[in-house]
């Protein structure tokens, strides 16, 4: 079957993308790694010795950035519905973050230890129905925020992807209810046409 014009255009854009080429040259598994690189360069989120939880981790670009920047001190727990090729210093949990079973596994791995940084780059499976996709993405962000409420250190940080649209203002309000500082980040590796932004919460409110 011949590819559609749109898929051919996407493939050409992907192959010629500067971040894709840079990721290949520098050994990162995805161009998305540079989103976290830019945000961490600005906000200093990753600290050696911390526990980092990476939600929606596959193929592992963000986990790679976290492990490199912790210099062998600390631990990354990565979660995704899809399989991920193993990474040194990363414990991978394959499963659906919406399911209690996965949360139970995370709880056992953490053994009561609070987390220094929670990353969520989770996205829903795209249906092509904007209202449905927005609702699914919002739900994933809400689940990640609930996890952060339960497991984040008081002085920890929470970085979550959110698609601008319905629910954005309400979610920002929820972030501000839970964190002393809330910022919006749109890294250069996030394509201009994409509605995705990253919301950063720091210092949990008592």
Q: Confirm or deny that 60 is annotated as ligand binding.
A: yes
Rounded Cα gap, residues 125 and 34, in angstroms: 22
User: How many DSSP H helices and E strands does the chain contain?
Assistant: 7, 7
Residue 179 covered by a domain: yes
Residue 23 covered by a domain: no
Cβ neighbors of 202 (< 8 A, separation 6 or more) are 43, 155, 156, 157, 158, 179, 180, 181, 182, 183
Q: Which domain holds residue 132?
A: 30-204
Residue 1 covered by a domain: no
Rounded Cα gap, residues 3 and 100, in angstroms: 39
Rounded Cα gap, residues 12 and 166, in angstroms: 31
The candidate with the shortest Cα–Cα distance to 44, out of 73, 70, 63, 77, is 70
pTM over 0.85: yes
Residue 22 covered by a domain: no
Task: Report the domain count for the chain.
Answer: 1
Mean per-residue pLDDT, 54-76 = 96
The catalytic residues are 161
Write the pLDDT tens digit of every residue in 96-144: 999 999 999 999 999 999 999 999 999 988 888 989 999 999 999 999 9
Q: Confirm or deny that 121 is annotated as ligand binding.
A: yes
Q: Confirm or deny that 54 is annotated as ligand binding.
A: no
Write the pLDDT tens digit of every residue in 149-185: 999 999 999 999 999 999 999 999 999 999 999 999 9
Residue 17 covered by a domain: no
CATH number at residue 176: 3.40.50.150
């Amino acid at each position: 079957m011949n590819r559609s014009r749109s898929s051919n255009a996407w493939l050409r854009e992907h192959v010629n993308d500067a971040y894709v080429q840079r990721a290949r040259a520098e050994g990162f598994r995805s161009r998305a790694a540079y989103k976290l690189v830019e945000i961490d360069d600005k906000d200093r989120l990753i600290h050696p010795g911390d526990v980092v939880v990476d939600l929606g981790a596959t193929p592992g670009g963000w986990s790679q950035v976290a492990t490199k920047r912790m210099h062998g001190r600390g631990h990354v727990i990565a979660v995704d519905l899809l399989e991920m090729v193993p990474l040194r210093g990363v414990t991978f949990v394959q499963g659906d973050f919406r399911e209690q079973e996965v949360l139970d596994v995370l709880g056992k791995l953490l053994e009561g230890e609070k987390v220094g940084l929670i990353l969520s780059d989770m996205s829903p499976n795209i249906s092509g129905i904007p209202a449905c996709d927005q609702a699914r993405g919002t739900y994933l962000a809400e689940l990640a925020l609930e996890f952060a409420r339960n497991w984040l250190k008081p002085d920890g940080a929470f970085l979550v992807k959110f698609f601008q649209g319905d629910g954005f203002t309400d979610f920002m309000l929820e972030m501000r209810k839970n964190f002393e500082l809330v910022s919006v980040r749109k890294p250069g590796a996030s394509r201009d046409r994409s509605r995705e932004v990253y919301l950063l919460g720091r210092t949990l409110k008592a």
